[in-house]
Amino acid sequence: MAILTLNGKSYDLEKKTLIMGILNITPDSFSDGGRHFNQDTALARALQMVTEGADIIDVGGESTRPGAVPVSVAEELERVIPVITAIRSTSAIPISVDTSKVAVAEAALASGASMLNDVWGGRKDPAMLKLAARADVPICLMHNRTKAVYADVVSEVAADLLESVEAALQASIKEENILLDPGIGFGKTPLHNLELLSRLKEITGLGYPVLLGVSRKSVIGKVLDLPVEQRLEGTAATVAYGVVHGVKISRVHDVLAMQRVVRMIEALLQGRLSPVD
């Protein structure tokens, strides 16, 4: 069984798909940039997501959209640490920090975060892997490339992810603390993203729990010809598809709607009328 332990609580990922609520403390994220760009609004949004059914809050202080302006360590710390501290002081919800900077990750863990989410999968700075091992916390290794060039995107993404896993194991990260993310929208064209989604079983079959982040992304906009604020139904379709094909954590903006989608899909798959705690 895939058991994930966060903030002292264990989750059986074979029985329940977790909902990770996105909390961007940025002025320029592609979907909600600027909306939660101060501590009060960020905390209010985090607590709202808790009431809506989030299992994890993923806090990020630097936009990872294409063309985003890089943020210094000092600025990222100033954005995320007060928010993480405020969430931890008011809720026991597990907190993930979305960063590729080791200094930010370390400060976030010290402030109450219990999971690392690295869009470079430990490849940008291998010290991130050593930190995860030392802190004994789960880390999500996302796939990313600087150029969207592939002969076979799915097999190459799978191979790259397994290389990241091997590096994590070499850094002494426990197997049960490793999560994978195929990186929809990162170093891939819209057609690459569709190919990855259509062959998602090849990623969920690698032997590690998979986190899928496709909420409101441009591949949905390309398919449906819709702006970011009108991609709820497209997101719901991809979230449901992900659960059916073995995804264990769905990273989403619209927590209330997506947790309902996930719970319904799980009821159909498992024959359960009541949700699993």
Which positions are annotated as active-site residues? Answer: 217, 251
| C-beta separation of 153 from 202 below 8 A | no
Task: Report strand pairing: 178-181 vs 211-212.
Answer: unpaired
Tokens of 261: 């989608």
- Write the CB contacts of 188 (distance below 8 Å, at least 6 apart in sequence): 145, 148, 150, 153, 196
60, 23 Cβ separation under 8 angstroms: yes
How many residues does the structure list for the chain?
A: 277
How would you classify the pairing of strands 3-6 and 139-142?
Answer: unpaired
Using CB atoms within 10 Å of the CB of residue 152, give its burial: 0 to 12 exposed, 13 to 18 middle, 19+ buried.
Answer: exposed
